[in-house]
């Protein structure tokens, strides 16, 4: 076991490797070889690489609607914009590309451009290709798209409703997949258990949002019918065949390269793949190379998201807190399309559904729904945050209901060390670790007793302080077959087996003795080059700086497999292991080469300190470079049958990764680390603000290859988890509008919000991986949100039993629990202040409202106003022109704006359901460069003794850019604009004058404008 480290104690750095050349590099805190380029600005990210002359720059027109039929696209005006070379639409995609493969058997088509329907805000609809990005964006505003909005599906609940509008009509339902699993005898366990404890939780949409957005450079070679693309794609390369199929070429004709540096991924850059296809298509249509750089608005709105999940878990519990069985229902929101590799989020943890606990009986129902939201994909913690949010809230609930200490519930149920390797109910193999001892070490070294004393002291002062716990297993190195658990055994038999997790690494020694390592791990900033140099230097007995590592990938030349890439924490276990295997094999070949010269058997040749010698006679040594030169210049020295080239490529796959069994048992990952966290939080009684007072995170990730980098991974994962727990959410309105479109709306924690956790380690080497290492980067995204939530539940224990607001846990949500009911509005002040009275907020969050007004005119007179185009023009806010285009159908030019911001909308307005003079329906919709707006108003006219009672109900929807970047203001702004229409109607019909217009609340939606005051 290595020394305990905390993030605050400086790790002993290995500044001068030469000083301790004898000690292995693996296990040492080596600073990174990557850093010099990154710190001096010479690093080359995708957007820094040169482009070919004549390259066109792409800008993407995106749907402002959550759900709409796509009726037509007119690109004529856009093509006249200076600098524009081409506009690509879904028609081009249909002609030259194919729909993406889908991971389940259901008739759902997902194309790189919308074909006849848009299914989420931000879905690509057309691409402008121009000489510069600026010019391409100029032309976006000139493309005219006709949509017919459809009812949006914006929640899991709604997706499960019978009548919800199916996103994919051929599927017929928004519940696109459902599978039930039964392991052991859960029914019997529930029958015999003393009680059943349940939780129901929802996990929100969010993502780890790397600082660098997507980049694609694409070129098409018509002579060879082949595509060459450079992109900051992160893998998994299982998606490469998906891309190639969508481009209608074999994989050999889609040469995909990755740049030398990438600005982070955390899984997210997997989701660039539809754009690889889209830009390949664009290059083909335009006949010129194409470059696309995603901007932040595009990224937040439409790149990717973690899945939202609803989870209900029942536990069969004994009086002492022992859990005998679990019954789980998971419903996963995958967004508008099941984009590869989904539904992986739901199945990634299938082998470890029971977490770190010895729970033999398990029943699971997994449902997948589609909603009108951005498709989901890889995101740090992939499925683990969702699973453990339910599981660890459940364990906390067991303690609360039994009146026991939550820590004792965890202790009582942990898998015992003697049981390792432990086979879980659902087929996972927990490979190593002593979970109980690890927990006790954390309790001791993390000073839990002192934390409890602090809680008691602060509570005595009346403060809201709580302690939370979480224990999880962190899976790493995904089994490429786990996703097929979504299929039935019969379907799997038809599809052919899927299993394993092949990692590749090539090691080459050049004639000067230089050593090159090439891997297909597509690093995104973790420091793979450093670790690989450590591993290979040890194998050859060379200096750290003698090893040169290349991590940029070219699928046309390099060794890769479908499992390649940067995901499922597979680097330390699989890729570094493969490099060691390759280097060791190559060393064996070099040993054979020189054994004769050294007068020993190849097995006795040693490599150390840059020398090659016989174990028996170290003084008679050759330099490593001399041996390398001989391998190149004198291959004839090799014994018969030995290959000459000093290059070795290893493919390594973990032995325990089999395909799912017919009983649906699946070992979904090769390794399982263990994490035990506890924390103390305080909630401010005045503001509801939560402060993380202390956080202790204990990791057993097997053998640590570089403690400095391991600590960096834990700190980074922890920061993401703090964001998930307290700040970040991709929020949508009930009408599907997207609300988190800027970094002022999507709240990434800053240095002021992320505390430094205490990090503790224990090392139980994995028996599965060559180096004994397991993954470590994702664990806190699994453990920390729920640990904080459990601490909140503890802090609020004087107010409610085990109650936690939904994630993210914001001050406003906490205040709603802490604060007493709001004092009523004093009657005397209404409208008397210097400020106007507040607008009454209608119930719910949708853009809906209603009103009623008595006017001194007959229903016939009111009816006449509504049917008169001149009058209608006067009623519509900002209407500059109104043109009759059909029976009771108009086209209106409307300018809606405030201050410097103006949006010119060409609106379609129609009157329908005419029942003169009693009722009608007024609909309007329009799109501008700022986004879309639509509304439906039902008006009824009721004769009264003195005139007419005009009653109206309306529903409205605002989408696109203006909603995404100013979402907070939309409710009131839309209410006001629509309210204005009806107030004017009433006024026109001779009713009380419409109240003086306040400065338009539309302006409020522009509050974003001060994002960087």
Partner 1 sequence: MPPLNSTSPLTAETRHAVSIVLNGTPRTGHAHPRLLLSDFLRHELGAHGTRVGCEHGVCGACTVRIDGVAARACLMLAVQADGRRIDTVEGLAQANEGRMTALQEAFRRHHALQCGFCTAGILMSLTDYLGRNPKPTEEELRDMLSGHLCRCTGYAGIVRAVMDVTGRTMKEAAHV
Partner 2 sequence: MKPASFDYLRPATVADALAALAAGGEDARVIAGGQSLMPMLNMRLVQPRLLIDLGRLEELRMLRAEDGWLTVGAAVTQAEVLARPTLAQEVPLLAAALPWVGHFQTRNRGTLCGSVAHADPSAETPLCLIATGGEVVLRNLRRRRTVAAADFFLGPLTTVKAVDEIVECVRFPLARPGSGHAFREQSMRHGDFAITACAATVDGQSASLAVGGVADRPALRSWPLVAGGLPPDLDEALNAFAWDLGGDDDQHATARYRRDLVRRIGRTVLEEALSCRR
839 binds, among partner 1, partner 2, none (CB under 5 to 8 A by kind): partner 2
User: What CA–CA distance (Å, rounded) separates 74 from 143?
Assistant: 6
Q: How many CA atoms lie within 13 A of 170 on its CB side?
A: 6
Question: Could you tell me which stretch among 42-50, 481-489, 883-891, 987-995 binds partner 1 (CB under 8 A)?
Answer: 42-50
Cβ nearer to partner 2, comparing 186 with 966: 966
The only residue of 89, 262, 972, 980 in contact with partner 2, by rule CB under 8 A: 972
Cβ nearer to partner 2, comparing 458 with 815: 815
CA distances from 767 to 432, 771, 779 (A): 7, 9, 20
- For the record, the structure tokens of 827 come out as 């009657």
Cβ nearer to partner 1, comparing 103 with 723: 723
Gap between the terminal Cα atoms of the chain = 51
Cβ nearer to partner 1, comparing 697 with 766: 697
Restricting to residues 893-952, which ones interact with partner 1 according to CB under 8 A? none
**Bridge partners, 550 (sequence order):** 518
42 binds, among partner 1, partner 2, none (CB under 5 to 8 A by kind): partner 1
The only residue of 282, 317, 451, 814 in contact with partner 1, by rule CB under 8 A: 451
Is 785 one of the binding residues for partner 1 (CB under 8 A)? no
Is 496 one of the binding residues for partner 2 (CB under 8 A)? no
User: What CA–CA distance (Å, rounded) separates 173 from 882?
Assistant: 40
Is 834 one of the binding residues for partner 2 (CB under 8 A)? yes
Query: What percent of the chain is helix, strand and coil (3-state, nearest 5)?
Result: 30, 25, 40
Is 1013 one of the binding residues for partner 2 (CB under 8 A)? yes
Kindly list the strands in the beta sheet with 308-317, ordered across the sheet, starting from the edge strand earlier in the chain. Answer: 175-183, 361-369, 323-333, 308-317, 195-203
Binding string, 927-966, against partner 2, x = CB under 8 A?
--xx------------------------------xx--x-
Restricting to residues 664-723, which ones interact with partner 2 according to CB under 8 A? 686-689
The only residue of 52, 134, 191, 856 in contact with partner 1, by rule CB under 8 A: 134
Restricting to residues 879-898, which ones interact with partner 2 according to CB under 8 A? 898
Contact indicator for 661, 508 with CB cutoff of 8 Å: no
Is 682 one of the binding residues for partner 1 (CB under 8 A)? no
Is 1001 one of the binding residues for partner 2 (CB under 8 A)? yes
720 binds, among partner 1, partner 2, none (CB under 5 to 8 A by kind): partner 1
Restricting to residues 507-546, which ones interact with partner 1 according to CB under 8 A? 524-527
Minimum distance, C-beta of residue 901 to partner 2, in the bound complex (Å): 5
Q: Any idea which residue has 């329908």 for tokens?
A: 912
Cβ nearer to partner 1, comparing 780 with 948: 780
Restricting to residues 114-153, which ones interact with partner 2 according to CB under 8 A? 133-134, 137-138, 141
- For the record, the structure tokens of 273 come out as 């793949």
Which 3 state secondary structure label does DSSP give 919? strand
CB crowding 312-321: b at 16 or more within 10 Å, else e? bbbbbbeeeb
Question: Could you tell me which stretch among 14-22, 550-558, 590-598, 837-845 binds partner 2 (CB under 8 A)?
Answer: 837-845
Question: Could you tell me which stretch among 39-47, 220-228, 354-362, 766-774 binds partner 1 (CB under 8 A)?
Answer: 39-47
Restricting to residues 954-983, which ones interact with partner 1 according to CB under 8 A? none
Minimum distance, C-beta of residue 84 to partner 1, in the bound complex (Å): 15
78, 205, 192: which is closest to 138 by C-alpha? 78
The only residue of 84, 582, 586, 739 in contact with partner 2, by rule CB under 8 A: 739
Minimum distance, C-beta of residue 284 to partner 1, in the bound complex (Å): 25
Please spell the DSSP secondary structure of 266-299, one letter per residue.
TTGGGGGHHHHHHHHHHHHHHTS-EEEE--HHHH
Restricting to residues 264-323, which ones interact with partner 1 according to CB under 8 A? 264, 266, 295-297
- For the record, the structure tokens of 506 come out as 């090539």
Which 3 state secondary structure label does DSSP give 496? coil
Extended beta strands in 91-248, E state: 117-118, 124-130, 144-149, 175-183, 195-203, 215-221, 226-231
Is 13 one of the binding residues for partner 2 (CB under 8 A)? no
470, 468, 197, 472: which is closest to 355 by C-alpha? 472
Minimum distance, C-beta of residue 833 to partner 2, in the bound complex (Å): 4
Minimum distance, C-beta of residue 807 to partner 1, in the bound complex (Å): 19
CB crowding 385-411: b at 16 or more within 10 Å, else e? bbbbbbbbbbbbbbbbbbeeebbebbb
Restricting to residues 684-703, which ones interact with partner 1 according to CB under 8 A? 692-695
Minimum distance, C-beta of residue 137 to partner 1, in the bound complex (Å): 10
Q: How far is CA 417 from the centre of its chain?
A: 34
Q: How far is CA 372 from the centre of its chain?
A: 16
147, 129, 146: which is closest to 138 by C-alpha? 129
Minimum distance, C-beta of residue 131 to partner 2, in the bound complex (Å): 13
Contact indicator for 624, 448 with CB cutoff of 8 Å: no
* Burial class of residue 481 in the structure, from the number of CB atoms within 10 Å of its CB (0-12 exposed, 13-18 middle, 19+ buried): buried
Is 47 one of the binding residues for partner 1 (CB under 8 A)? yes
Contact indicator for 589, 645 with CB cutoff of 8 Å: no
Restricting to residues 773-812, which ones interact with partner 2 according to CB under 8 A? 810-812
583 binds, among partner 2, partner 1, none (CB under 5 to 8 A by kind): none
927, 920, 919, 865: which is closest to 891 by C-alpha? 927
The only residue of 21, 27, 43, 165 in contact with partner 1, by rule CB under 8 A: 43
Is 742 one of the binding residues for partner 1 (CB under 8 A)? yes
Cβ nearer to partner 2, comparing 59 with 920: 59
Restricting to residues 534-573, which ones interact with partner 2 according to CB under 8 A? none
User: What CA–CA distance (Å, rounded) separates 651 from 211?
Assistant: 32
The only residue of 152, 680, 702, 736 in contact with partner 1, by rule CB under 8 A: 680
| Residues present in the chain in total | 1013
Phi then psi for residue 1001, to 5 deg, are -75, -10
Is 263 one of the binding residues for partner 2 (CB under 8 A)? no
Minimum distance, C-beta of residue 563 to partner 2, in the bound complex (Å): 35
466 binds, among partner 1, partner 2, none (CB under 5 to 8 A by kind): none
Contact indicator for 37, 92 with CB cutoff of 8 Å: no
Is 48 one of the binding residues for partner 1 (CB under 8 A)? yes
The only residue of 24, 845, 915, 943 in contact with partner 2, by rule CB under 8 A: 845
Question: Could you tell me which stretch among 209-217, 364-372, 551-559, 999-1007 binds partner 1 (CB under 8 A)?
Answer: 209-217
Contact indicator for 514, 548 with CB cutoff of 8 Å: yes
410, 376, 415, 367: which is closest to 179 by C-alpha? 367
Is 556 one of the binding residues for partner 1 (CB under 8 A)? no
526 binds, among partner 2, partner 1, none (CB under 5 to 8 A by kind): partner 1
The only residue of 18, 22, 41, 840 in contact with partner 1, by rule CB under 8 A: 41
419, 425, 353: which is closest to 663 by C-alpha? 425
The only residue of 3, 870, 996, 1012 in contact with partner 2, by rule CB under 8 A: 1012
């Amino acid at each position: 076991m290595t020394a305990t480290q905390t993030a605050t104690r400086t790790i002993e750095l290995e500044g001068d490797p030469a000083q301790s050349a004898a000690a292995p590099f693996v296990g040492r805190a080596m600073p990174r070889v990557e850093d010099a380029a990154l710190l001096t600005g010479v690093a080359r990210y995708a957007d820094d690489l040169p482009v070919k002359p004549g390259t066109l720059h792409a800008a993407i027109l995106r749907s402002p609607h959550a759900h709409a039929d796509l009726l037509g696209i007119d690109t004529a005006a856009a093509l006249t914009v200076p600098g524009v070379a081409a506009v690509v639409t879904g028609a081009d995609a249909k002609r030259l590309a194919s729909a993406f493969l889908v991971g389940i058997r259901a008739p759902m088509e997902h194309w790189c451009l919308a074909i006849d329907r848009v299914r989420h805000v931000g879905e690509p609809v057309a691409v402008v290709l121009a000489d510069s990005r600026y010019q391409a964006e100029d032309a976006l505003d000139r493309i005219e798209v006709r949509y017919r909005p459809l009812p949006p599906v914006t929640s899991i609940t709604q997706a499960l409703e019978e009548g919800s509008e199916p996103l994919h009509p051929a599927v017929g339902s928004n519940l696109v997949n459902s599978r039930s699993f039964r392991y052991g005898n859960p029914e019997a366990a529930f029958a015999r258990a003393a009680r059943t404890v349940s939780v129901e939780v929802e996990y929100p949409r969010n993502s780890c949002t790397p600082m660098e957005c997507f980049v694609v450079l694409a070129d098409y070679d018509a002579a060879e019918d082949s595509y060459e693309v450079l992109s900051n794609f992160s893998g998994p390369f299982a998606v490469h065949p998906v891309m190639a199929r969508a481009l209608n070429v074999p994989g050999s004709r889609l040469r995909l390269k990755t740049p030398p540096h990438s600005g982070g991924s955390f899984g997210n850059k997997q989701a660039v793949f539809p754009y690889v296809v889209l830009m390949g298509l664009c290059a083909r249509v335009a006949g010129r190379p194409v470059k696309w750089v995603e901007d932040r608005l595009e990224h937040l709105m439409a790149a990717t998201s973690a899945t939202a999940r609803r989870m209900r878990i029942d536990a069969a519990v004994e009086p002492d807190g022992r859990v005998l069985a679990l019954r789980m229902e998971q419903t996963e929101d995958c967004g508008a399309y099941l984009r590869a590799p989904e539904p992986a989020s739901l199945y990634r943890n299938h082998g470890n559904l029971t977490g770190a606990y010895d729970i033999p009986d398990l029943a699971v129902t997994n449902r997948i729904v589609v909603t009108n939201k951005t498709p989901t994909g890889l995101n740090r913690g992939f499925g683990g945050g969702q699973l453990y949010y339910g599981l660890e809230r459940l364990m906390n609930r067991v303690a609360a209901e039994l009146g026991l200490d939550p820590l004792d519930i965890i202790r009582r149920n942990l898998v015992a060390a003697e049981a390792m390797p432990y086979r879980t109910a659902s087929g996972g193999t927990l490979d190593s670790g002593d979970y109980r001892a690890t927990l006790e070490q954390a309790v001791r070294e993390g000073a839990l007793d002192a934390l409890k004393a602090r809680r008691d002291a602060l509570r005595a002062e009346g403060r809201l302080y709580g302690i939370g716990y979480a224990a999880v297993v962190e899976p790493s190195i995904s089994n490429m077959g786990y996703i097929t658990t979504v299929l039935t055994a019969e379907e799997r038999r038809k599809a052919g087996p899927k299993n394993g997790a092949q990692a590749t690494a090539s090691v080459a020694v050049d004639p000067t003795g230089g050593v090159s390592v090439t891997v297909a791990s597509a690093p995104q900033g973790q420091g793979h080059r450093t670790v690989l140099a450590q591993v290979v230097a040890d194998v050859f007995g060379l200096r750290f700086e003698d090893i040169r590592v290349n991590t940029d990938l070219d699928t046309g030349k390099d060794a890769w497999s479908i499992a390649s890439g940067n995901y499922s924490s597979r680097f330390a276990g699989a890729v570094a292991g493969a490099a060691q295997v390759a280097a060791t094999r190559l060393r064996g070949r070099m040993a054979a080469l020189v054994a004769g010269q050294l007068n020993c058997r190849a097995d006795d040749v040693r490599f150390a300190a840059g020398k090659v010698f016989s174990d028996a006679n170290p003084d008679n040594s050759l330099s490593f470079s001399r041996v390398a030169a001989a391998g190149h210049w004198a291959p004839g020295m090799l014994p018969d049958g030995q290959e000459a080239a000093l290059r070795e490529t290893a493919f390594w796959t973990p032995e325990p990764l089999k395909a799912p069994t017919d009983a649906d048992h699946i070992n979904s990952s090769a390794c399982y680390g263990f994490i035990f966290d506890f924390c103390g939080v305080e909630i401010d009684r005045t503001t509801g603000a939560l402060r993380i007072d202390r956080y202790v995170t204990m990791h057993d990730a097997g053998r640590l290859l570089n403690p400095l980098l391991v600590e960096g991974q834990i700190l980074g994962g922890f920061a993401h988890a703090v964001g998930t727990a307290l700040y970040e959410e991709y929020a949508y309105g009930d009408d599907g509008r997207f609300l988190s479109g800027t970094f002022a709306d999507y709240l990434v924690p800053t240095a002021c919000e992320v505390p430094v956790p205490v990090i503790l380690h224990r090392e139980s080497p994995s028996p599965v991986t060559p180096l004994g290492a397991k993954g470590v980067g994702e664990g806190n995204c699994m453990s920390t949100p729920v640990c904080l939530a459990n601490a909140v539940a503890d802090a609020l224990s004087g107010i409610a039993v085990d109650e936690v607001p939904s994630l993210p846990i914001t001050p406003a949500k906490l205040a709603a629990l802490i604060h007493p009911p709001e004092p009523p509005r004093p009657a005397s002040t209404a409208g008397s202040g210097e400020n106007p009275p507040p607008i009454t907020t209608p119930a719910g969050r949708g853009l809906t409202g209603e009103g009623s007004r008595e006017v001194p005119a007959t229903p016939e007179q009111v009816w006449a106003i509504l049917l008169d185009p001149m009058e209608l023009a006067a009623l519509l806010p900002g209407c500059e022109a109104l043109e009759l285009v059909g029976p009771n159908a108009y086209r209106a030019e409307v300018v809606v704006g405030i201050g410097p911001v103006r949006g010119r909308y060409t609106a379609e307005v129609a009157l329908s359901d005419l029942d003169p003079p009693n009722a009608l329906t007024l609909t309007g919709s329009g799109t501008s460069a700022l986004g879309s707006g639509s509304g439906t108003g039902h008006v009824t006219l009721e004769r009264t003794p003195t005139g007419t009672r005009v009653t109206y109900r309306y529903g409205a929807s605002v989408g696109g850019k203006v909603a995404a970047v100013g979402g907070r203001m939309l409710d009131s702004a839309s209410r006001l604009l629509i309210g204005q229409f009806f107030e004017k109607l009433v006024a026109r019909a001779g009713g009380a004058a419409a109240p003086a217009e306040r400065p338009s609340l539309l302006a409020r939606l522009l509050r974003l404008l001060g994002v960087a005051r």
